Structure 1
Amino acid sequence: MTFDPGQLGQSRADLAETLRTMRKRASRTQVWLARRCNMSQTKLSNIETGRITPGLVDVELILRALDVPPELVAEAVALARLARTEWESKRALWRTGLEKRQAELSGLEAEATTLRYFLPAMVTGLLATPEYIRASLGHSPVGISKTVARKLERQAVLYDTAKRFTFLLTEQAVKWAVVPPVAMAVQIDRLVSVSRLPNVRIGVIPLGEIVERGPMNTFTVYDQRLATVETFTGRIVFQDPRDIAEHLEVFDLYERHALFGEDARGVLGEWAKIYRP
């Protein structure tokens, strides 16, 4: 199944209709199927009406109980995976307000214990100075003052020692000149400072490091339950365990090529000198 952001809103309804149709074709009642799948009839009813999105395990249990042919199994599993993926366009984000997005991110950060950030292009808001944040929002068509304030408030989560943060930045992400040279030096100094927090690891990947996989997108993984991917036109949220596992695998690859600790701070110090007068 081709991934099309336009399909995402419809995928839950399509999955519900597909599962309902398969049950009826098999001439089985909800009571029978729920019992065979060891779930309540209420849950099965909610799945078939699209009120809840089933996990892949639930879908596979239903398909197995109904003895669905392999070609239809593949279609239903693909729908289930798509139904657990969300798309939020930049236009929708601007309509609802950037502050709402900050509240959502704050909620994700509050719930997670282990947070991993892959940053191939720019510094993320949790690590950014006020000037860098304001400049990075310059393209937004809506007011940004409150959003800058909310981003700065979110940085307090870095000091929660019950959480573990790992940030991986490419050399391009560190050096991309969002602000004037002096402000860039200050921004890089902030990376050095934050890297000394006991629960924060900042890794840098210098240009020239041989890595067999190109850095395609900025992404964040929250524990092992959710991954978000940033694009120019919006954000994709993955909840399927396979998608999350793939992002963790990619993160692990880049992490093995990154410099940490004093090695990273030494490189960052050299890069900061480039921008000092």
Structure 2
Amino acid sequence: MSASPSSSAQAAREVLAARLGELRRDAELTGQELALRCGWSPAKSSRIERARTAASDSDIRAWCAACGAEDQAADLVAANRQADQMYVHWKKLHRHGMRRAQEEVVPLYESTRRFRVYCSNVVPGILQTEAYATALLSTIATFQGTPDDSPEAAASRVERSHVVREGGHRFALLLEEAVLRYRIGDAGTMAGQLGYLLAVMALPNVSLGIIPFTAERRVWPLEAFYLFDDHRTSVELLTAAVNVSAPSEIAVYAEAFSQLAEMAVYGSAARALITAAINSLG
């Protein structure tokens, strides 16, 4: 379980870079000749072709034009954008605020039948109350230096959570016990959030497990990740969201989830941990 969460994005960039290299060689151009035609330095051509520097859409169009392969540009630009979507920086995603980012994932949530979610730091968005989400998103906006539309973004986040109660979706959610203790917002906000966890546990399509502090670790605490059926894994890093689509990497996260699930407690034992966290709020 040592695969880098950004390796899918890098692999996609390497495939694109290899294709650009093929176009250059087919055109019988040296790197220096291509750079001259494109109007940039030979070093830039080398970095792009070795996947050391991500090519922009305009770089790809210039490269294709220099190689007499303008008909290839559209497909390569599309592949480049797909690679960019695999590794999305939060500051870029939130540059106009966070509400839009909440709305953009609604189709993915509505089409997913089986959710497997692991969180080691905060309550997963799909189970957040509006007050908790507002407090969390405001903190994120301040840290990132992006526009703070946390009330609107929180309302959108709660709205997309309708899938928990509608549409025949199944949820397996794992939280580290620390999530119950980290103070996001004031005591009232935390009490409301923890109380909501107790309520949602009663839903027949929801399995909520808590990994106790005292659990013997067979898997160390990981970054938060979301498995959407067996088609996609979204991993939340400090600076970026990583969208993994390679089957081999999705399998690694599925195995990690399975092992983490074995360490969790459920039912009355999980409720006892949540209730203890509520009581600790004073």
TM-score (structure 2 length as normaliser): 0.72
Contact 1:185 1:272 in 2 (8 A): yes
* Gaps in structure 1 of 5+ consecutive residues: 25-44, 54-81
Amino acid at match of 2:126: L
Contact 1:219 1:229 in 2 (8 A): yes
Answering whether residue 275 of structure 2 is matched by residue 249 of structure 1, we say no
CA shift, 1:183, in A, is: 2.5
Q: Measured at CA, do residues 243 and 21 of structure 1 come closer, stay the same or move farther in structure 2, by a change above 3 Å?
A: farther
Answering whether residue 65 of structure 2 is matched by residue 50 of structure 1, we say no
SS in 1 for 2:134: helix
Q: Measured at CA, do residues 13 and 113 of structure 1 come closer, stay the same or move farther in structure 2, by a change above 3 Å?
A: same
Contact 2:8 2:245 in 1 (8 A): no
Q: Tell me the residue number matched to 2:98.
A: 98
Answering whether residue 17 of structure 2 is matched by residue 14 of structure 1, we say yes
Q: Measured at CA, do residues 199 and 18 of structure 1 come closer, stay the same or move farther in structure 2, by a change above 3 Å?
A: farther
CA distance in 2, matches of 1:17, 1:225: 28
* Gaps in structure 2 of 5+ consecutive residues: 28-70
Matches within 5 A, 1:1-277: 10-11=13-14, 13-17=16-20, 49-50=75-76, 83=83, 86-139=86-139, 140=141, 141-142=146-147, 143-160=149-166, 162-275=168-281, 277=282
Amino acid at match of 2:128: A
More off after superposition, 217-226 vs 92-101: 92-101
CA shift, 1:175, in A, is: 1.2
State the Cα deviation string for residues 8-32 of structure 1 (Å, max 9, x = none): 78445214336768999xxxxxxxx
Contact 2:231 2:247 in 1 (8 A): yes
Contact 1:171 1:206 in 2 (8 A): yes
Q: Identity over the aligned pairs, expressed in percent?
A: 23
**Any runs of at least 4 consecutive aligned residues in structure 1 with deviations exceeding 6 A, and if so which?**
19-24, 45-48
Q: Measured at CA, do residues 46 and 117 of structure 1 come closer, stay the same or move farther in structure 2, by a change above 3 Å?
A: farther
Q: Measured at CA, do residues 98 and 183 of structure 1 come closer, stay the same or move farther in structure 2, by a change above 3 Å?
A: closer
Q: Measured at CA, do residues 111 and 266 of structure 1 come closer, stay the same or move farther in structure 2, by a change above 3 Å?
A: same
Q: Tell me the residue number matched to 2:43.
A: none
CA distance in 2, matches of 1:152, 1:83: 29
CA distance in 2, matches of 1:11, 1:99: 33
CA distance in 1, matches of 2:85, 2:246: 7
Structural RMSD (CA): 3.2
Contact 1:8 1:86 in 2 (8 A): no
